[in-house]
Structure 1
Amino acid sequence: MTSSLQDRTVLVVGRGSGIAQAVTLALRAAGAKVVVAGRDEQALAAAYDDPDVTAAAVDLTDEAAVAALAERLGRVDHVVSTASARARGALGDLGHDTVLRSFDVKVLGPLLLAKYFAPRMPEDGSFVFFSGSSARKPAPGMLAVGATNAAVDVLTRGLAVELAPIRVNAVSPGTIDTGAYDALGEQKKAELFATRAATSPARRVGRAEDIAEAVVFALGSTFLTGVSLGVDGGEPLV
């Protein structure tokens, strides 16, 4: 059976590693042509050895840059934004600029992508943005992250109504084994993952490929819109 993504053009905003890379590879496996975009165009280009993956520069905190990318690319069929700027920390440690940047990249950035790319998309096009399980399960040190993710969920529902019939969905990961946790150090990272695996109903932490599969599903599911897909192993349940 031919994939609904065969020969479609998908813009993936993010880094050339981790979840963004897994999403790009999964899209290519589904037959899509992919434009990867981020602040470091050269690093993105070096991350892929595939003529159907091209790199472009964009800064989601710069409206003119988003508008210029849309003008340069013209029509795309789908847009995925994996970009984030983490604002972990207890309340007393959170600063205005840190929290604002988290919203700027993960909420306002997708809003700008919708503003400039939706007019160039076909009616069966779609957006996929990234939320996170912290929007549904509060935890110490995750206040600003959770607030940002909750805002993504609201944005997703609002845009699904405003941009219809273009679809808008979000993917909401739980604990995923990517470089995002490397700053903890090997021992603390291993301890965290062991705890999360022991308490999660799925009895493991997630892989980037788990999230990539959900993105491909959301892009190809033509009756799915306004939904935040929890791909979290049931983590918010416990």
Structure 2
Amino acid sequence: MTGPLKNETVLVVGRGGGIARAVAFAARDAGARVIAAGRDQQALTAVYADEPGISTETVDLTDEAAIAALGERLDAVDHVVSTASARARGLLADLDRDAVRLAFDTKVIGPLMLAKHLAPRMSETGSFTLFSGVAATKIAVGTMAVAITNGAADTLARSLALELAPIRVNAISPGVIDTGAWDALGEQGKADYFADIGARNPARRIGTVNDIANGVLFAMTSTFLTGVTLHIDGGEPLT
């Protein structure tokens, strides 16, 4: 297979659907050998079993020993993308300490440990792509824990870009994306929310998983890009 990632290995950490799935397929279609990793091996196997060029692994980002073991099994990797998240939403009075801790552990400490254990196995042309989110730049009541977690992920990307150089490290900050993350609102609630956001943001639509996957490909293949957060959010923070 030809493409900008030909003969390179890309590790995508996250669930078996949504953004992680789109990134895995985009990387594979760009020529990469893709390893999809996450906590639910059964779910990953069900998604990727019949997909050529994509294999699966198990890893728990809240467990450093599991991350170290993954590094040992992989031996070498060219690019690492961490899409994993655990949201802690709610007003201050309702926030659960364990939920906030899990959010940080999954989206900040976990990727930090990925860098610790995988960077020594990467060449100087490798890259890490972390995930932040629009809540870090569009502060709103009820999303404080999400905002501070995403803000920490932005800072982590810049810090790692300096310490791991010339390995490149960037972050992706999605806006509202049409994934299963909003299904809890119910069919009508989700439709109303999407209609409101899409009517107000400058792009006048909701983002898609392919919008984000294309951004990740850009981050992986742009060899003069590092320490940057790419805001793929339809201009939502401007509203």
TM-score of the aligned structures, taking structure 1 as reference length: 0.98
- The equivalent of 1:133 in structure 2 is 134
- The equivalent of 2:22 in structure 1 is 22
Question: Helix, strand or coil: the match of 1:47?
Answer: helix
Question: Helix, strand or coil: the match of 2:152?
Answer: helix
Offset at 1:202?
0.1
61-70 or 38-47: which moved more? 38-47
196-205 or 184-193: which moved more? 184-193
Identify unmatched segments of 5+ residues in structure 2. Answer: none
For residues 179 and 24 of structure 1, what CA distance do their matches in structure 2 show?
A: 17
For residues 42 and 98 of structure 1, what CA distance do their matches in structure 2 show?
A: 24
- The equivalent of 1:81 in structure 2 is 82
Give matches, 1:31-180, under 5 Å.
31-48=31-48, 49-180=50-181
For residues 76 and 229 of structure 2, what CA distance do their matches in structure 1 show?
A: 25
Offset at 1:45?
1.5
Q: Deviations over 1:36-89 (max 9, x none)?
A: 000011211210222311100000000000000000100000000000001111
For residues 44 and 55 of structure 1, what CA distance do their matches in structure 2 show?
A: 7
For residues 182 and 217 of structure 2, what CA distance do their matches in structure 1 show?
A: 24
Aligned-pair Cα RMSD in Å: 0.7
For residues 148 and 58 of structure 2, what CA distance do their matches in structure 1 show?
A: 28
Q: Deviations over 1:147-181 (max 9, x none)?
A: 00000000000000000000000000000000000
Q: Deviations over 1:206-233 (max 9, x none)?
A: 0001000000010000000000000000
Q: Deviations over 1:100-147 (max 9, x none)?
A: 000000000000000000000000000000000110010121100000
Offset at 1:90?
1.0
Offset at 1:29?
0.9
Aligned length: 237
For residues 79 and 208 of structure 1, what CA distance do their matches in structure 2 show?
A: 18
Question: Helix, strand or coil: the match of 1:124?
Answer: coil
Contact 2:91/2:142 (<8 A) preserved: yes
- The equivalent of 1:231 in structure 2 is 232
For residues 3 and 90 of structure 1, what CA distance do their matches in structure 2 show?
A: 46
Question: Helix, strand or coil: the match of 2:120?
Answer: helix
- The equivalent of 1:10 in structure 2 is 10
For residues 94 and 7 of structure 1, what CA distance do their matches in structure 2 show?
A: 45
For residues 107 and 30 of structure 1, what CA distance do their matches in structure 2 show?
A: 28
Offset at 1:3?
2.9
* One-letter code aligned to 1:7: N
Question: Helix, strand or coil: the match of 2:189?
Answer: helix
For residues 171 and 153 of structure 1, what CA distance do their matches in structure 2 show?
A: 9
Contact 2:3/2:29 (<8 A) preserved: no
For residues 74 and 183 of structure 1, what CA distance do their matches in structure 2 show?
A: 39
For residues 26 and 140 of structure 2, what CA distance do their matches in structure 1 show?
A: 31
* One-letter code aligned to 2:22: A
For residues 172 and 3 of structure 1, what CA distance do their matches in structure 2 show?
A: 25
TM-score of the aligned structures, taking structure 2 as reference length: 0.98
